[in-house]
């Protein structure tokens, strides 16, 4: 099973603030069977203690260590917010366009983070993913599948 599946991607979303964006990304994980509902509260609690903003318009909200009991299977969700969400109230220029919810059992998060880093460390690729209307591009990029020739 792929870490990211179509039913965990929402393109062209809107969110009123980062908490709303985190809830939406978490809901995609809940509705697809990756996590139980309390995991989303853990994602919000984690964000309250430390920002999950990576740069290049990408944030990776995830639960805390104690929230692992709510993970049913490893998976990520992608909430694409083309208008952006202010992620740091102290820096209104810090906008997140891709909110990538992460739920990972044991050390599987290392593979998840590796795939994410490869896809989003390039600002042009991160921008393309933030604006694309092609779900397949996001699937290929974040599942670590190279483009076919």
Instruction: Evaluate whether 44 touches 6 at the Cβ level (below 8 Å).
Output: no
Domain chopping of the chain, boundaries: 6-142
Helix and strand totals (H; E) in the chain: 5, 5
Instruction: Evaluate whether 27 touches 7 at the Cβ level (below 8 Å).
Output: no
- Render pLDDT for 61-115 as a digit per residue (tens, 0 to 9): 999 889 999 999 999 999 999 999 999 888 787 899 999 999 988 776 676 677 7
Supply the pTM of this predicted model. 0.91
Say how far apart CA 10 and CA 114 lie, in whole Å.
22
**The domain 6-142 belongs to what CATH superfamily?**
Mannitol-specific EII; Chain A (3.40.930.10)
- Render pLDDT for 115-140 as a digit per residue (tens, 0 to 9): 777 777 888 988 999 999 999 999 98
- DSSP string across 63-88: --GGGGGGBSS-EEEEEEEEEEEEEE
């Amino acid at each position: 099973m792929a870490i990211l599946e179509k039913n965990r991607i929402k393109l062209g979303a809107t969110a009123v603030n980062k908490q709303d964006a985190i809830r939406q990304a978490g809901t995609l994980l809940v509705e697809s069977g990756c996590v139980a509902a309390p995991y989303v509260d853990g994602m919000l609690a984690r964000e309250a203690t430390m920002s999950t903003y990576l740069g290049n318009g990408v944030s990776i909200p995830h639960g805390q260590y104690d929230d692992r009991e709510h993970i049913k299977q490893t998976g990520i969700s992608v909430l694409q917010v083309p208008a952006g969400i202010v992620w740091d109230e102290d820096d209104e220029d810090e906008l997140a366009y891709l909110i990538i919810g992460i739920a990972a059992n044991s050390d599987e998060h290392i593979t998840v983070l590796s795939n994410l880093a490869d896809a989003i460390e390039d600002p042009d690729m991160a921008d393309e993913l933030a604006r694309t209307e092609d779900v397949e591009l996001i699937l290929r990029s974040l599942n670590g599948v190279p483009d076919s020739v």
